[in-house]
Amino acid sequence: MAATERPAEHGNSALEGTVALVTGASSGIGAATALALAAQGAAVALVARRSDRLQQVAEQIIGRGGRALCVEADVADRSEAFAAVDSVVSHFSRLDTVVNNAGVMLLGPVADAPEGEWERMVAVNQLGCLYVTQRAQPHLVRAAASEPRHVSDIVNISSTAGRVARPGSAVYSMTKAAVVALSESLRQEMQPLRVRVSVVEPGNVATELVHHTREELREGLEAQVGGIERMAPEDIARTICFVVTSPRRVAVNEVLVRAADQTW
């Protein structure tokens, strides 16, 4: 864990005085979201396995007058996920927003999937989300009962794959559909406590996810999306900011964001 911060210089913003935790914050949607939340005034905890990449994101936040905490952790490991949440609350003394973004996409036919791919997707995409959420819940409830906002947020990142399964995406789609189901059940549980639960389902985004796929399958995957102008991670980050900066009377429960050229 590395702490990096300096007094904010951006004045009053929508999330001033709050703390956000973003998993998978070392690149892509997670990094863009961390930067966007910091720009809104939140102190941001960056959680991922690649500490060097986390530090780079933290330096950008600090350079813009924000506050950041780097926490190296694999959220698929229950003890590491719990320790990450504990570290954030210990450092900042509160937790207002959780963005469960960490995920892996290992595509390919079910018939010849290498041992371990399915387990890794289930561990990161499902259990990682669940571990962080479970440990964060009591802190989010306390934050929702206090200043400055009297509301807190959990945002789970799913995918269009959680809605539309395609050849080669069976297990990935399964894990993302599970995130949607978790989010809806949790929304109903947490609503009386002023903890809003939202699920964001991005379509094709220009991130590193495609590089997780086995090399022999990557060319075919690229061909499937080759004619699509992919969204930027910042496009999804703006959506997440809209969700968490909405007035307390508003709960944005589900957002589906497709690339304009995407048909599925």
Rounded CA-CA distance 27/33 in Å is 10
Rounded CA-CA distance 117/231 in Å is 26
8 A C-beta contact, residue 103 and residue 179: no
> Residue 148's closest CA among 5, 10, 16, 9?
16
Indicate the pairing of strand 67-72 with strand 2-5: antiparallel
Provide the residue type at 38 as one letter. A
Q: 39: which 2 tokens?
A: 């720009």
172 catalytically annotated: yes
Rounded CA-CA distance 40/55 in Å is 20
Query: Of 172, 190, 202, 244, which one is the catalytic site residue?
Result: 172
27 three-class SS: coil
Q: Which residues are designated catalytic?
A: 172
